[in-house]
Amino acid sequence: MLNYQHIKIPQDGEKIRIVNNRLKVPKNPIIAFIEGDGTGPDIWRASKRVFDAAVEKAFNGKKKISWMEIYAGEKAVALYGNNAWLPDETVEAIKEFSVAIKGPLTTPIGGGIRSLNVSLRQLLDLFACVRPVKYYAGTPSPMKKPQDMNIVIFRENTEDVYSGIEFKSDTEDSNKLIDFINESFNKKIRKPMSEFGSSRLVKKAIEFARDNKRGSVTLVHKGNIMKFTEGSFKEWGYKVATSEFRELVVTEDELWSQYNGKMPEGKILIKDRIADSMFQQLLLRPSEYEVVATPNLNGDYLSDAAAAQVGGLGIAPGANMSYTTAIFEATHGTAPKYANQDKVNPGSVILSGVMMFNFIGWGKVSRIIEKAMKKTIKSKVVTYDFARLLKNSKEVKCSEFASEIIKNM
Ligand code: NAP
């Protein structure tokens, strides 16, 4: 175990271990948390109460989370000094303890670190950003049938235009690169994507579909225009599907050439859609999609647009994961104008916790939380963001919303 400067390892907990790429979770696992900036502390306090109550309800004191605070963002700068937005020991602790959950973090403005979230994903090689999008009855939504949406988006997290290969216009570096590309290839290469990065993401999405009995995985790409990057993403996706999961999958071509358009039972359909068309599809025919695998930038746009259809970012959960490490996180930002007012919706972090408990194999806890949250929203006891859109609702504070969920367990 490493020696940490400010992180205190709880004495009553045990480390989650990784054996053959699988988690071995003790009865009292240590889970790291970053409370986050702005509204983060309000949200974290409320969420932690919900998590502890659900674990207690599920296991009657036989299992318990040992929470371990780790630091990033403004709290880290205050504690570590030296403009340490993301201290090394925070990254090391997530590696060592495997599972972490976080509130939103301020993005430092100007120089230094570009984004704490992007840095965490890259430093820990959390290659899959997983965003489930589904509707909870009673949530205000702009759609006529929001319940038709129930998808899980797997967004590639480490490559594409997010890989940070960009240079300010008219600098020595940018001119050097432009000269090199022009002289050597006479064209611009802008979007690095690899077979390695694309295949492992698609593989993870298919494994998820298999383990959660989902009937299709859709590869979303812009390969009609960017043939060697986005187009290759599609090709590599089909390749990994038909080489590693041959018995389990049917491609859309095979569906018509071999099965007369009728999906054989127990198989997963692999299909692909062009990104712009997918935005239409999710609005008009959401029930035809279950799991989506897509490169980084497409995934970023698509997850927010899909979340908007079922009630917005206030309750959209997310996770960034590899096979051995995962960070579960709020998808919204720090909403600084509401900081310390005990006002905002803690739903995004609470539902990220639902994903986290599924990840560590404590599905019973997830089901308790989700059921209680559904009941709370349905009874129209909600925070300001939902209350302003719902007739006859009762507006409650962030902490009161958590108490209501606990009461409904
Ligand atoms: P934001 O914090 O997401 O807030 C934008 C608006 O979204 C808020 O004013 C509020 O809307 C609504 N909102 C956000 N969280 C909510 C919640 N929990 N409950 C209810 N409503 C919520 O976006 P921002 O103002 O652009 O960014 C603020 C800071 O957060 C920036 O430093 C940004 O870089 C950072 N950020 C961090 C993450 C992350 O850590 N994952 C993600 C995005 C942004 P109303 O005003 O309509 O009430």
Residue-level pLDDT at 112: 60
Q: Which of 222, 234, 343, 375 is catalytic?
A: 222
Sorted by sequence, the CB contacts under 8 Å of residue 45 that are 6+ apart come out as 399
Q: Is the CB of 335 under 6 A from ligand 1?
A: yes
Dist CA 314 CA 333 (whole Å): 10
Residue-level pLDDT at 269: 98
Ligand 1 nearest-atom number relative to CA 338: 9
For residue 49, how many C-alpha atoms fall within 13 Å in the half-sphere facing its CB?
A: 17
Task: Compute the CA torsion angle 203, 208, 213, 219 (nearest 10 deg).
Answer: -50
pTM (2 d.p.): 0.90
All structural domains of the chain = 1-134+310-409 (3.40.718.10), 142-307 (3.40.718.10)
CA 277 to chain centre: 23
Residue-level pLDDT at 191: 58
In 3D space, the residue among 326, 364, 354 whose CA is nearest the CA of residue 16 turns out to be 326
Q: What percent of the chain has pLDDT over 90?
A: 76
- Residue-wise pLDDT tens digits, 8-47: 999 999 999 999 888 999 999 999 999 999 999 999 999 9
Q: Is the CB of 42 under 6 A from ligand 1?
A: no
Q: What percent of the chain has pLDDT over 70?
A: 95
Q: Residues 334-363: what's their mean pLDDT?
A: 96
Active site residue 300: yes
